[in-house]
Homo-oligomer: A and B are copies of this chain.
Amino acid sequence: MPTRTYRICFLGFGNVNRTLLRLLEQKRGELNERYDLAWQLTGVASRRLGWIAAPQGLDAETIADGWKPGSANVRNSIEDWLGDARPDVLFEATSLNVANGQPAVDYLRAGLEHGAHVISANKGPVVHAFRELTALAGQKGKRYLFEAAVMDGAPIFSLFRENLPAVELHAFYGILNSTTNVILTGVEQGLSFRQSLGKAQEIGVAETDPSHDVEGWDAAVKVAALITVLMGEPFPPQRVEREGIGSLTGDAVRQARAGGRPYKLVCRARRSAGRIIASVKPEQVPATDPMAQISGTSSIITFETDIFPALTITETNPGVYTTAYGMLADFIRAVRTQA
């Protein structure tokens, strides 16, 4: 098979897409040899840079930190940008908007209309526009893939789509948020909630505004995304019963750990009598439960199905490159199975 070169563009150029660019460079030889696949970066867009198109190609060194693109490369809209950068594959990693998934939904729609595969690390479009974007991708003979949206790059969506045909998912539960993991561990070790949060912010796990994580919204959006895709029922994050870790006291957290039943922010969803109910809330789990061992950036999910009484995926200590890998894997999937 002759090697095909795909034009790729990045929408959002923070940690995830920057890491993806490094990973693409690092795996360039392997992509070529094993997948007959080459790539050329023709566009980057971010709040700081604007809509930058470079039909002749950009390289990683050119767009290192502090780069100021020439005005000849700046476009005024996503349409102009797509028209000039002409991506075959668009990697979207812009900010999450819990309320309506915008503007990412519009970006992905524009990418598909343009004729690109769209690969997204963003949970917002999954919970707000999964059906619409999937249908549009189907019409265009392209793919809308989003493996990196939940549990970093661990294969969850692709596992069900490709590896578990004809399986019926009854329920799932697990731990899907890092920030609360790190905060609870700090509190167990004697810090106050405020100190522990500060430490989580120092090591870059918690956001400057941590309320999204602490109040359980991040986990709730992940639960909603999993239900929407894997259980086949659109499920807004607002329908997830939600309680953050803010309701716990430091003493309660330390006593729970000392008593062998530590607190974790546990996600649950279950289909029961035709109705799906879901929750995110602090629960005490037995020390011997694998959930009790989940700390830092690690995550765990257990699926209960008609075939597997319980199938559990645990991802231990992933970094931002595992998220970036989720997008790389989607890239390979998209172009291998292209219509």
A residues bordering B, Cβ < 8 Å?
27, 30-31, 34-35, 153-155, 158-159, 162-167, 287-290, 292-293, 302, 307-319, 321-322, 325, 328-329, 332-333
Contacts and interface: CB of A to CB of B under 8 A. Distances in A.
A329 B163 contact: yes
B309 A321 contact: no
Q: Which residue of A163, A311, A325 has the most chain B CB atoms within 10 A of its CB atom?
A: A163
22 contacts: A30-B166, A153-B307, A155-B159, A155-B163, A158-B163, A159-B159, A165-B332, A165-B333, A289-B293, A290-B293, A307-B322, A308-B316, A308-B318, A309-B317, A309-B318, A310-B317, A311-B315, A312-B312, A312-B313, A312-B315, A312-B316, A314-B314
Copies of this chain, how many? 2
Given A312-B314, A329-B166, A307 B292 contact: no
A316 B307 CA distance: 11
Contacts of A165: 34-35, 329, 332-333
A158 B162 contact: yes
A312 B290 CA distance: 11
Given A302-B314, A314-B314, 6 more contacts: A153-B307, A159-B163, A164-B329, A166-B332, A307-B325, A308-B315
Contact of A288 (B30, B159, B293, B321): B293
A313 B310 contact: no
Nearest to A316: B310
A311 B300 CA distance: 10
Contacts of A318: 308-309
A269 to B, nearest CB: 18
A308 B163 contact: no
A35 B302 CA distance: 26
B308 A311 contact: no
Contacts of A293: 288-290
A166 B35 contact: yes
